[in-house]
């Protein structure tokens, strides 16, 4: 039976580049673009079918920042497919990123310039907010919604005699220093993106510990520094005009500046070709591009504490129960008023 592949956030950037590469690799797979904006998703589907006219490409409305949307989308997936082979968790947000201008110019002319651009460490802060489910928006979109999706799709992911893969798009900005177990939603901090990405790294490790025996394997990738809508939103356009020549110059000397979505999708594509047993569950697989433009993937060990990842997993299970309970009460109240 043909592979079933679901990609969240597939309408643009790295997600769309991945879809193009997957169809080029295997034109028989059943590809599902799980997106929040259906107009953009339809445009992405049309573009893919233009280059792959015989491909099986379906759309799925999914806002991973909404519990109800995740539950509805998961139910739809279960009616369409009998199994899921690959679940690429690529959707993510970094709302209202702000740059410390003094730190930017100081870092621009220092030895730390490459690390500054590659990770945003000491440079970026974001403004988060609470969503309609009472969760922090970045946490809900980048981590919890995807966790809930995995939980809902376990019947299709965990089947006897069948291996399935979950692949998280993480970041070099995923730093342990930004995450606090006492504040896992990052309500009190200024780096919710970094916190959520580090949490997804930990969750991947915990998923392997709990689900490998059931045939589910989880991996984490870093796309490198890619110029996408998310990246361009960090600085005003005139800044990018000024610094892009510098970035292309720096790219000659550092392999983390992948820059294009196609290059950034290298690790995501590479993992599609690997057997899950051959992968290191504690490694993050980095998309890299040489100065001559050659793409390759390199695993690097993550700074993850096993006990800490287990605590996070347990907390997410408890939060899932609480969110489901509140949703039942909310729907019950609506029915009563109706």
Q: Is 193 a catalytic residue?
A: yes
Using CA atoms, how far residue 147 sits from 23, 127, 144, in Å, is: 26, 23, 5
Count of CB atoms situated within 10 Å of the CB of 78:
14
The C-alpha atoms of residue 123 and residue 9 are separated, in whole angstroms, by: 26
The C-alpha atoms of residue 3 and residue 23 are separated, in whole angstroms, by: 11
The C-alpha atoms of residue 313 and residue 208 are separated, in whole angstroms, by: 11
Please give the backbone phi and psi of residue 266, each rounded to the nearest 5 degrees, phi first.
-55, -50
Take residue 59 and report the two structure tokens written for it. 């759309």
Count of CB atoms situated within 10 Å of the CB of 308:
15
- Give every CB contact of residue 76 below 8 A, 6+ residues apart in sequence: 60
Catalytic residue among 81, 88, 193, 232: 193
Take residue 241 and report the two structure tokens written for it. 């005009």
The C-alpha atoms of residue 16 and residue 297 are separated, in whole angstroms, by: 19
Where are any strands of DSSP class E within the chain?
4-8, 30-35, 56-61, 86-89, 97-99, 124-126, 164-169, 216-222, 283-289, 295-301
- With CA atoms as reference, report the closest residue to 84 among 190, 215, 185: 215
- Give every CB contact of residue 75 below 8 A, 6+ residues apart in sequence: 152
Catalytic residues, which ones? 193
């Amino acid at each position: 039976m043909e592979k079933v592949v679901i990609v969240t956030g597939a309408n643009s950037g790295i997600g769309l580049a991945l879809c193009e590469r997957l169809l080029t690799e295997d034109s028989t797979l059943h590809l599902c673009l799980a997106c929040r904006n259906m107009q953009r998703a339809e445009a992405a589907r049309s573009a893919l079918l233009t280059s792959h006219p015989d491909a099986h490409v379906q759309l799925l409305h999914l806002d991973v920042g909404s519990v109800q949307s995740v539950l509805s989308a998961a139910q739809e997936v279960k009616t369409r497919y009998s199994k899921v082979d690959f679940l690429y968790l690529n959707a993510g947000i970094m709302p209202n990123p702000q740059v410390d201008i003094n730190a930017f110019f100081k870092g621009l002319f220092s030895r730390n310039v490459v690390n500054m651009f590659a990770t945003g460490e000491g440079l970026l802060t974001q403004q988060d907010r609470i969503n309609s489910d009472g969760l922090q928006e970045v946490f809900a979109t980048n981590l919890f919604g995807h966790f809930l999706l995995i939980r809902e799709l376990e019947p299709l992911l965990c089947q006897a005699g069948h291996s399935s893969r979950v692949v998280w798009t993480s970041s070099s900005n995923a730093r342990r220093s930004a995450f606090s177990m006492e504040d896992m939603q990052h309500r009190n901090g200024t780096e919710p993106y970094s916190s959520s990405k580090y949490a997804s790294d930990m969750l991947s490790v915990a998923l392997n510990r709990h689900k490998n025996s059931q045939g589910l394997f989880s991996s984490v990738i870093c796309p490198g520094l890619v110029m996408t809508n998310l990246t361009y939103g960090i600085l005003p356009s005139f800044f990018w005009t000024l610094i892009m020549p510098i970035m292309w110059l720096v790219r000659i000397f550092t392999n983390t500046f992948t820059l294009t979505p196609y290059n950034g999708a290298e690790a995501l594509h590479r993992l599609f070709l690997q057997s899950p047993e051959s992968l290191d569950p504690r490694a993050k697989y980095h998309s890299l591009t040489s100065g001559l433009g050659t793409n390759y993937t390199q695993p690097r060990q993550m700074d993850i504490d096993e006990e800490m990842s287990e605590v996070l997993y347990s907390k997410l299970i408890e939060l899932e129960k609480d969110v489901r309970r509140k949703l039942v009460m909310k729907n019950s109240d609506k029915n009563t008023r109706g």
